């Protein structure tokens, strides 16, 4: 059954998370987790859902950017898109007038992700499969054809990508069965936000341990003395054997990062995440060589495959943290998964916020089944915020994501949430804005 995309609607939805300090870190003291939410509608009421993840102000800019892609997507036929997924991606990412506003970064790239992911949601729903299975049922040739290799061929050619995928083809069925049985390992971020006081941190740690968690991330970078204090609390609570990770959210300069990590090394962290600017490939490489054996992780703010390519070429990262809404949608995520596998670096997706966990579980599952074939050193971030607003929220049990089974991407937000938290005219915001006056 061929279907044509008939309509695009966009919603600005914001959650007042800054009220509670949820998500607070050294760079972002008061995030209101938000989304510009794109819904594509086909002839027979099949819908596809995609989103940008934002933290409040400026979501309206993303709404406008998603609308700018309307003429490039409305009217297109799903069969034609499916027959040339790489060409479809290039036709959007390569629109020269919109590309000028990035290129391939910032608001236009965030909006591209929302539109591209909504199309993949349509395709997976139409096929009756959760996205990770839809991807995992593609042949190696089909997967390679999803990728725009422009500006990455010096690191990975289509031929090398194909060989890498073919090498993993035999074990697909067994790995898929293992995922369906055991789930995918996760780690928890919700314990160590900078805005939390000591009692909250201790209570969160104890609850997490009781819930079966073994990995804990602490936010650092606002003030070194306070970082040491909170790391000491978390290490006391989790004991010597559970895993501690640190996250500086980009606030340090290169030498500051190296100096701070000399002190924080006392708490035996697995990695330091975002030690400096996400644009600084050479800086990450210097930090990585200075802080070994502590690892370096980054990616939630890395704009595209070209930055990830270089981080890998330079040996600058030990953990690659893709984001489901910052790379230009599924096609570019596949490109980065292929690069990471080629360089032998584990992918540990960024998640949390709103909707990010729902996205990345598909990518990690696909990575395991088809690309890297491995779980070694791999974990998906988890934060227990705002899942109730989704029609098919993630299921996480005993520190593992349970594989999604509903057809599609699983990123459809409930209609009542879109309405309640609509900005600025939904009831939640109308009330708050009138109180502020």
Residues in 109-148 at the binding interface with a second copy, rule: CB under 8 A: 109-110
Cβ of residue 103: shortest distance to a second copy, in angstroms? 6
Residue 106 binds to a second copy (criterion: CB under 8 A): yes
Question: CA 113 to CA 337: how far, in whole Å?
Answer: 16
Residue 58 binds to a second copy (criterion: CB under 8 A): yes
User: Using the rule CB under 8 A, which residue among 6, 41, 76, 99 binds a second copy?
Assistant: 99
In the complex with a second copy, the residue whose CB is nearer, 124 or 336, is: 336
DSSP H or E run through 80: helix 78-83
In the complex with a second copy, the residue whose CB is nearer, 63 or 205, is: 63
Q: Is 359 a residue of the active site?
A: no
Cβ of residue 308: shortest distance to a second copy, in angstroms? 10
DSSP annotation of 367 reads: I
In the complex with a second copy, the residue whose CB is nearer, 72 or 391, is: 72
Residue 324 binds to a second copy (criterion: CB under 8 A): no
In the complex with a second copy, the residue whose CB is nearer, 100 or 388, is: 100
Picking from 363, 313, 339, 346, the residue whose alpha carbon sits closest to that of residue 160 is 339
* Integer CA distances (angstroms), 114 to 130, 132, 284, 329, in order: 18, 17, 29, 7
Stretch that binds a second copy, among 108-116, 212-220, 360-368, 381-389 (CB under 8 A): 108-116
* Integer CA distances (angstroms), 422 to 35, 59, 63, 353, in order: 10, 11, 12, 17
In the complex with a second copy, the residue whose CB is nearer, 68 or 162, is: 68
Residue 3 binds to a second copy (criterion: CB under 8 A): no
- Longest Cα pair distance anywhere in the chain, in angstroms? 63
User: Using the rule CB under 8 A, which residue among 8, 13, 194, 281 binds a second copy?
Assistant: 281
Residues in 370-429 at the binding interface with a second copy, rule: CB under 8 A: none
Contacts of 248 (CB under 8 A, 6+ apart): 26, 219, 220, 221, 257, 260, 272, 273, 274, 275, 276
Say if residues 343 and 319 touch (Cβ distance below 8 Å): no
User: Using the rule CB under 8 A, which residue among 49, 175, 286, 359 binds a second copy?
Assistant: 286
DSSP character string of 264-325: HGGG--SEEE--S-TT-HHHHHHHHHHHTTSEEEE-TT--SHHHHHHHHHTT--SEE---TT
Backbone angles phi, psi at 349, to 5 degrees: -60, 145
Residue 235 binds to a second copy (criterion: CB under 8 A): no
Output Rg (C-alpha) for the chain, integer angstroms.
21
Q: Is 350 a residue of the active site?
A: yes
Residues in 62-91 at the binding interface with a second copy, rule: CB under 8 A: 62, 64-65, 68
Q: Which of 11, 109, 215, 219 is catalytic?
A: 219
User: Using the rule CB under 8 A, which residue among 168, 276, 321, 331 binds a second copy?
Assistant: 276
* 3-state secondary structure string across 49-71: EEEEEECCCCHHHHHHHHHHCHH
Q: Which of 215, 309, 350, 359 is catalytic?
A: 350
Catalytically active residues are: 219, 350
Residues lying near a second copy in the complex (CB under 8 A) are found at 27-32, 54-58, 60-62, 64-65, 68, 95-110, 149-154, 250, 253-256, 276-283, 286, 301, 303-304, 306-307, 309-310, 313-314
């Amino acid at each position: 059954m061929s279907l044509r995309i008939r309509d695009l609607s966009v919603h600005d939805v914001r959650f007042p998370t800054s009220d509670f300090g949820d998500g607070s870190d050294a760079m972002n003291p008061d995030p209101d987790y938000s989304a510009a939410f794109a819904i594509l509608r086909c002839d027979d009421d099949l819908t596809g859902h995609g989103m940008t993840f934002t933290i409040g102000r400026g979501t309206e800019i993303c709404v406008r950017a998603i609308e700018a892609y309307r003429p490039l997507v409305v009217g297109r036929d799903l069969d034609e898109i499916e027959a040339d997924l790489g060409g479809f991606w290039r036709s959007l990412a390569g629109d020269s007038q919109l590309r000028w506003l990035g290129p391939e970064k910032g608001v236009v790239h965030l909006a591209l992700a929302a539109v591209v992911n909504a199309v993949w949601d349509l395709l997976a729903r139409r096929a009756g499969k959760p996205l990770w299975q839809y991807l995992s049922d593609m042949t190696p040739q089909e997967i390679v054809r999803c990728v725009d290799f422009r500006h990455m061929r010096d690191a990975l050619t289509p031929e090398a990508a194909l060989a890498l995928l073919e090498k993993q083809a035999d074990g697909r069925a067994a790995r898929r069965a293992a995922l369906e049985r055991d789930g995918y390992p996760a780690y928890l971020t919700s314990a160590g936000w900078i805005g939390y006081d000591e009692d909250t941190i201790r209570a969160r740690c104890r609850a997490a341990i009781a819930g079966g968690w073994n990995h804990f991330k602490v936010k650092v970078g606002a003030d070194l003395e306070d970082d040491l204090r909170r790391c000491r609390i978390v290490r006391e609570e989790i004991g010597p054997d559970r895993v501690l990770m640190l996250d500086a959210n980009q606030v340090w300069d290169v030498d500051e990062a190296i100096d701070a990590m000399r002190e924080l090394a006392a708490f035996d962290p697995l990695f330091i995440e975002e030690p400096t600017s996400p644009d600084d490939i050479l800086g990450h490489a210097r930090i990585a060589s200075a802080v070994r054996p502590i690892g370096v992780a980054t990616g939630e703010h890395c704009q595209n495959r070209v930055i990830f390519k270089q981080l890998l070429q330079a040996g600058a990262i030990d953990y690659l943290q893709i984001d489901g809404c910052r790379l230009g949608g599924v096609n570019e995520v596949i490109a980065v998964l292929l690069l990471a596998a080629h360089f032998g670096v584990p992918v540990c997706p960024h998640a949390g916020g709103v909707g990010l966990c729902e996205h990345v579980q598909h990518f990690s599952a696909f990575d395991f089944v088809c690309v890297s074939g491995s779980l070694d050193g791999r974990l998906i971030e988890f934060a227990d915020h705002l899942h109730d607003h989704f029609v098919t929220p993630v299921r996480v049990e005993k520190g593992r994501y349970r594989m999604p089974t509903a057809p599609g991407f699983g990123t459809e937000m409930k209609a009542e949430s879109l309405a309640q938290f609509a900005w600025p005219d939904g009831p939640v915001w109308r009330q708050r804005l009138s109180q502020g006056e």
